[in-house]
Amino acid sequence: MNKSPFDLKYQNKNIEAKIIASLERIAQAFRVLLWNESKEFSLTPIQIQVLIFLLHHSDQKRKVSYLAEEFNMTKATISETIKTLEQKKLIKKEYEQHDTRSYIIHLTSKGKEIADKTSLFAEEILTPVEKLLPSEKENLLLSLLNIIHHLNQSGIITIQRMCFTCSYYQSQNNGQEHFCSLVNQKLADTELRIDCPEHKPTSIE
Q: Which residues bind ligand SF4 (CB under 6 A)?
A: 163, 166, 168-169, 180, 182, 193, 196, 198-199
SS3 164: helix
Q: Is the dihedral of CA 152, 161, 24, 175 positive or negative?
A: positive
Q: Minimum distance from CB of 8 to ligand SF4 (Å)?
A: 40
Shortest Å distance, C-beta 170 to ligand SF4: 8
Q: Please, which residue, 74 or 171, has the CB nearer to ligand SF4? A: 171
- In terms of CB distance, is 115 or 199 closer to ligand SF4? 199
DSSP secondary structure letters along 35-86: HHHHHHHT--HHHHHHHHHHHHS-GGGSSHHHHHHHTT--HHHHHHHHHHHH
Pick the closer one to ligand SF4 by CB: 139 or 181: 181
Least separation in angstroms between CB 126 and ligand SF4: 22
Question: Of 121 and 169, which has the nearer Cβ to ligand SF4?
Answer: 169
Please provide the distance, in angstroms rounded to a whole number, between the alpha carbons at the two ends of the chain.
31
